[in-house]
């Protein structure tokens, strides 16, 4: 696979992290691998905590020319100088948000495991559609975004696609020819050495 065909890396933060430690962990990964985008995916509903996390990660990401998007909190995008938003409910609200945030903002949508939701999001104007989980996980209802979905998408749809959720090196090898991005999160953050874990995960890409 040539470098131009090689899927890019899209890092997803843990749902909770220590603000004194995590920015340095993120910096270490960004310095070790070429990363296209970081998604702040905090589960917290505390506006101050989310804003402080966004400020800290924006500094780390932008210093390395890496985009930072935030999950769900649309109103914080412009206020905090972020690059865009990641929606978790597919195509809903995409058209309105595009109008509100402008053409330059990154708007992505998680579309679960269904082709239909992805097509709707693409038609509404997203910059990428994310599908998952691609691997085995005890969470959710057990449905997975399978290889066939990615093969079909790569042939039929021009909007970039993200494969995420319970990734393994084996899945990276299978999906590598058909996805534009790998969304990597807990797979590396739950380890002691996140840069080494990411390197091992991506090893099949060469």
Domains annotated for the chain, with CATH where assigned, are 8-205 (3.20.20.70)
Q: Is the pLDDT of residue 1 over 80?
A: no
pTM above 0.85, yes or no: yes
- With the CA atoms of 24, 30, 36 and 39 taken in that order, what torsion angle do they form, in degrees rounded to the nearest 10? -20
Higher pLDDT, 142 or 119: 119
Residue 31: band (very low, low, confident or very high) from pLDDT cuts 50, 70, 90: very high
The candidate with the shortest Cα–Cα distance to 182, out of 196, 168, 194, 195, is 168
Q: Check whether 54 has a pLDDT greater than 50.
A: yes
14 and 189 in contact (C-beta within 8 Å)? yes
pLDDT digits (tens, 9 = 90+) for 2-12: 355 899 999 99
Q: From CA 72, how far away is CA 85, in angstroms rounded?
A: 6
pLDDT at 84 over 70: yes
Residue 37: strand pairing partners: 10, 67
Q: Where does the pLDDT of residue 139 fall: very low under 50, low under 70, confident under 90, or very high at 90 and above?
A: confident
User: Has residue 108 got a pLDDT over 90?
Assistant: yes
- Residue 4: the pLDDT is 58
pLDDT of residue 148: 97
Contacts of 162 (CB under 8 A, 6+ apart): 10, 108, 128, 129, 130, 131, 132, 179, 180, 181, 182, 183
Say if residues 111 and 81 touch (Cβ distance below 8 Å).
no
Residue 104 token pair: 């330059």
């Amino acid at each position: 696979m040539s470098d131009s065909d090689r899927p890019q890396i899209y890092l997803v933060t843990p749902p909770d992290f220590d603000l004194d430690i995590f920015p340095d962990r993120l910096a270490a990964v960004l310095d070790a691998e070429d990363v296209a985008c970081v998604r702040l995916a905090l589960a917290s509903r505390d506006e101050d905590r989310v804003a402080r996390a966004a400020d800290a990660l924006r500094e780390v990401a932008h210093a390395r020319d890496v985009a930072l998007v935030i999950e769900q909190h649309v109103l914080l995008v412009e206020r905090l100088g972020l690059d865009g938003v990641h929606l978790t409910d597919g195509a809903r609200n995409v058209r309105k948000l595009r109008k509100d945030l402008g053409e330059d903002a990154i708007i992505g949508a998680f579309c679960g495991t269904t082709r239909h939701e992805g097509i709707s999001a693409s038609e509404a104007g997203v910059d990428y559609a994310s599908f998952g989980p691609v691997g085995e996980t005890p969470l959710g209802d057990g449905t997975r975004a399978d290889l066939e979905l990615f093969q079909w998408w790569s042939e039929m749809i021009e909007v970039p696609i993200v494969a995420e959720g319970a990734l393994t090196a084996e899945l990276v090898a299978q999906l590598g020819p058909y996805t534009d991005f790998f969304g990597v999160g807990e797979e590396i953050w739950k380890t002691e050495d996140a840069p080494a874990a990411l390197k091992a995960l991506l090893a099949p890409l060469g």
